[in-house]
A and B are shown apart, each in its own frame.
Chain A
Amino acid sequence: MEISNTSINEIIMAKYGEIALKGQNKRTFEDILVRNVKKAFTGLGKFKYERMQSTLYITPESQETDLEQAIVCLSRVFGLGAIQKCAVLPKDFDRIVEQGMPYLESTLKHAKTFKVEAKRSDKTFPMNTPVIQRELGGAVLEAYPHLQVDVHNPDVVVLLEIRDKGAYLNLQRLPGAGGIPVGSSGAGLLLLSGGHDSPVAAYMIAKRGVRIDAVHFHSPPYTSERALMKVESLCRQLKDYLVNIRLHIVEFAEVQEAIRNNCPEEYSTLILRRCMVKAANILCSKKLETGNNIYKALITGESLGQVASQTLSAIGCTDNAAELPVLRPLIGMDKTEIVSIARKIGTFDISSEPYEDCCTVFTPKHPKTNPKLQDVELIESRFDYEGLILKSIENMKISDFA
């Protein structure tokens, strides 16, 4: 029974998530999805891409392709509902059994129970679905007599799909990242601190199709070069999900000093956050050649009540400074829920590095938890921070992660 699997062609079937349900603009979503998949496969070899029946068929075209790594990368591309690696077989039941049984060996020899599922979208295929299932199940039992059928909790599901172009036999169906393709919902600007929350916020909004760039406020000498290196590591980690990120690095030490020298300590964090939002407004006001704004929203990792600057009153004051909608996907989440996503997307360990970030250096002992907007505006009217913010934007540095 030792027939080398290399004689069988393997492909990846990447099945669309909710864009399969789209109407006339489905094509636009598909184009973006395929572009993102190609981007994710950079360096993994040459592939051929075909779209059929809400599925992207990805066929390796060279010997050097790394199919396993391709599947890992694919699992981070938003817009896909499921990912399967499968063997391509001729649409002839006898040959499916003849070639397919050896292909299943490495998985089935360690299993105790199995079940067979079949799908037939090519209705010209002479057997109907129940017949295919019964016959294929019989063939598996004959080839692997140690197995037993268990339709409720099988160790392995053997799935055969009869589609227009061929028969596809596979064993595992991995969940896709879900969501819709990054770039199909416009672009947003993320306020990225280096903590656990903002990377998770980026992940959640990117999942809904938004292309994300980030702004980080860096405050040397109050913060270390290592704090900036940490933010750059976060961008590299997030890139798999976000496709590409432009990181704007804005030096904010002078703004923070002005706030400390001119504002009551209990308001300093809140006013700093408003200044960050105002700096982000300036970045967002930059136009594309078409005259439209690049960014259509701000994205933050705020979670209601997590700290004093994230109470309902404080968020109201921060929100008031924004000129664009502020998306806060974590607003109703607990820290434990946020951390579990951070672990899943690989940002947890990076965010856990101990370097002080821009938010913690000037932290007041007793911040105002119930600030009033008119008080905040009165305090702000007493000093010129706008010039300092403009200056910080002029001196901004940019790093691209693509």
Chain B
Amino acid sequence: MSIIYFDNAASAKPCEEAITVFNTVIRENFANPASLHKGGIEAEKIITQAKATILSRILPLSIRNNADLIFTSGATESNNLAIIKSVKPRGKTKIVTTAIEHPGVDNAIEQLSPQYEIVRVPPEDLNHLPDMVDENTALVSMTAVCSETGFVVNTPKIYAEIKARFVDCIVHVDAAQGFLKVPSDGDLISISAHKIGGFPGLGGLVVKKGVRIEPMLFGGGQQKGIRAGTEPTALIAAFAAATAVERNPDVGVLASELDYGLVTLGMKINSDFRGNISVPEITNFSCGVKSEVMLHFLAEHGIYVSSGSACSRGKKSRVLAAHGIPDKDIDTAIRVSFAAHNRVYEVDTFLNILEKGLKRWK
């Protein structure tokens, strides 16, 4: 049975380009990039080149000359580093975030909750997020794209408005899902390799010039002392290779085929936001059958999707609730997420199997 992989927002299928580069680099450039010999220098060069490639792929393009990239173990570490290690008390008492954050942001902010008042802005009010910021605000942290619904936050606009008024408020953007899909701008930007066709175990934090963060890990002083630990050269090279792969040119067609098919089957689409956009890679809908049951049924037919968000198995999604989706629809929510390898015929197969499942239970 061939597998239809529609769970790329949980972990994207690694692209061939990344696998090829990884295989070469892990065989040939295994030396420690901090070593003084030629092997170390070669590895360091690969990292420098990869860093430039990755930075050059971040939109808006102005970021590439104006920021450094710190490699981490993943977006969760990047988010923790950005949130916990950028804030300094300095008399400030407030953190502004959104109600649709990934747990990697939400739970990191929660660590600061005794000292800070935390304001979580619901998605419909995000245009007014800058109005919630005041001179007491130490940090704003927002996602660029909601991991569960694909809802897009206009971070460049919000960032510019905040900085125009409060220049010393730190703005962090979680672009784990948004990277390569939408422009994302902030003082600190988290990205992840395995969401875009690279491998799990590597993430990055883009740090704008002049923004100071303290290290979380102490050791050999790598990456200017901000993130100690030997850089994984092959993972980094594979990440860069994955960023060079073009976005699926048919992703708009995939999304509209899927939408049309779902509406025909009478499904309720949760990622259709009037007056706001969502990325075509992510579709969230409620099928009317308990999500776990439908998920297992689809998996029996070789189709892999997520119920809610893959990180919180079994828990009711607070993100969908923040989007105003009623409990009964959250219970039956399914997330389909595309990447470059997906094809239109897979959507047709998916819709056929989904219809079979619906006939069995509805």
* Chain A positions near chain B (C-beta within 8 angstroms): 220-225, 354-356, 361
19 further A-B contacts with Cβ under 8 Å, apart from A222-B290, A354-B314, A356-B292, are A220-B300, A221-B293, A221-B295, A221-B296, A221-B299, A221-B300, A222-B292, A222-B293, A222-B296, A223-B296, A224-B292, A224-B296, A225-B296, A354-B315, A355-B313, A355-B314, A356-B314, A361-B290, A361-B293
| Inter-chain contact A221/B314, CB cutoff 8 Å | no
- A73 → chain B, closest Cβ, in Å? 34
Q: How many angstroms between the C-alpha atoms of A356 and B294 in the bound complex?
A: 13
Q: How many angstroms between the C-alpha atoms of A220 and B297 in the bound complex?
A: 8
Q: How many angstroms between the C-alpha atoms of A1 and B122 in the bound complex?
A: 73
Residues of B within 8 A of A355 (CB): 313-314
Residues of B within 8 A of A354 (CB): 313-315
Per-residue CB proximity of B74-96 to A under 8 Å, as 1/0?
00000000000000000000000
Residues of B within 8 A of A224 (CB): 292, 296
Q: How many angstroms between the C-alpha atoms of A355 and B293 in the bound complex?
A: 12
Dominant SS among interface residues on chain B: helix
24 contacts between A and B (CB under 8 A): A220-B296, A221-B293, A221-B294, A221-B295, A221-B296, A221-B297, A221-B299, A221-B300, A222-B290, A222-B292, A222-B293, A222-B296, A223-B296, A224-B292, A224-B296, A225-B296, A354-B313, A354-B314, A354-B315, A355-B313, A355-B314, A356-B292, A361-B290, A361-B293
Count residues on chain B whose CB falls below 8 Å from chain A CBs: 12
Smallest CB gap from B296: residue in A: A221
Q: How many angstroms between the C-alpha atoms of A222 and B290 in the bound complex?
A: 9
* Chain B positions near chain A (C-beta within 8 angstroms): 290, 292-297, 299-300, 313-315
Residues of A within 8 A of B290 (CB): 222, 361
Residues of A within 8 A of B294 (CB): 221
Of B294, B296, B300, B314, most buried by chain A (CB within 10 Å of CB) is: B296
Q: How many angstroms between the C-alpha atoms of A203 and B11 in the bound complex?
A: 40
Q: How many angstroms between the C-alpha atoms of A221 and B302 in the bound complex?
A: 13
Q: How many angstroms between the C-alpha atoms of A356 and B313 in the bound complex?
A: 10
Q: How many angstroms between the C-alpha atoms of A354 and B292 in the bound complex?
A: 12
Residues of A within 8 A of B295 (CB): 221
Residues of A within 8 A of B292 (CB): 222, 224, 356
Q: How many angstroms between the C-alpha atoms of A329 and B342 in the bound complex?
A: 54
Residues of A within 8 A of B293 (CB): 221-222, 361
Smallest CB gap from A257: residue in B: B360
- B37 → chain A, closest Cβ, in Å? 43
Q: How many angstroms between the C-alpha atoms of A38 and B292 in the bound complex?
A: 44
Residues of A within 8 A of B297 (CB): 221
Q: How many angstroms between the C-alpha atoms of A361 and B293 in the bound complex?
A: 9
Closest 10 CB pairs of A and B: A221-B296, A354-B314, A221-B297, A222-B293, A221-B293, A221-B300, A220-B296, A354-B313, A356-B292, A224-B296
Residues of A within 8 A of B314 (CB): 354-356
Q: How many angstroms between the C-alpha atoms of A221 and B299 in the bound complex?
A: 9
Of A221, A225, A355, A356, most buried by chain B (CB within 10 Å of CB) is: A221
Residues of A within 8 A of B299 (CB): 221
Q: How many angstroms between the C-alpha atoms of A221 and B313 in the bound complex?
A: 16
Smallest CB gap from B299: residue in A: A221
Smallest CB gap from B290: residue in A: A361
Q: How many angstroms between the C-alpha atoms of A234 and B292 in the bound complex?
A: 22
Q: How many angstroms between the C-alpha atoms of A356 and B331 in the bound complex?
A: 13
- A213 → chain B, closest Cβ, in Å? 27
Q: How many angstroms between the C-alpha atoms of A361 and B299 in the bound complex?
A: 18
- A397 → chain B, closest Cβ, in Å? 16
Residues of B within 8 A of A221 (CB): 293-297, 299-300
Q: How many angstroms between the C-alpha atoms of A221 and B301 in the bound complex?
A: 11
- A355 → chain B, closest Cβ, in Å? 7
- A265 → chain B, closest Cβ, in Å? 15
Smallest CB gap from B357: residue in A: A221
- B295 → chain A, closest Cβ, in Å? 8
Q: How many angstroms between the C-alpha atoms of A356 and B307 in the bound complex?
A: 13
- A238 → chain B, closest Cβ, in Å? 24
- B99 → chain A, closest Cβ, in Å? 23
Residues of B within 8 A of A225 (CB): 296
Smallest CB gap from A355: residue in B: B314
Residues of A within 8 A of B313 (CB): 354-355
Q: How many angstroms between the C-alpha atoms of A356 and B300 in the bound complex?
A: 17
Q: How many angstroms between the C-alpha atoms of A345 and B297 in the bound complex?
A: 35
Q: How many angstroms between the C-alpha atoms of A354 and B315 in the bound complex?
A: 8
Q: How many angstroms between the C-alpha atoms of A8 and B261 in the bound complex?
A: 79
Residues of B within 8 A of A361 (CB): 290, 293
Smallest CB gap from B314: residue in A: A354
Residues of B within 8 A of A220 (CB): 296, 300
Q: How many angstroms between the C-alpha atoms of A356 and B290 in the bound complex?
A: 12
Q: How many angstroms between the C-alpha atoms of A224 and B314 in the bound complex?
A: 11
Q: How many angstroms between the C-alpha atoms of A222 and B360 in the bound complex?
A: 12
Smallest CB gap from A354: residue in B: B314
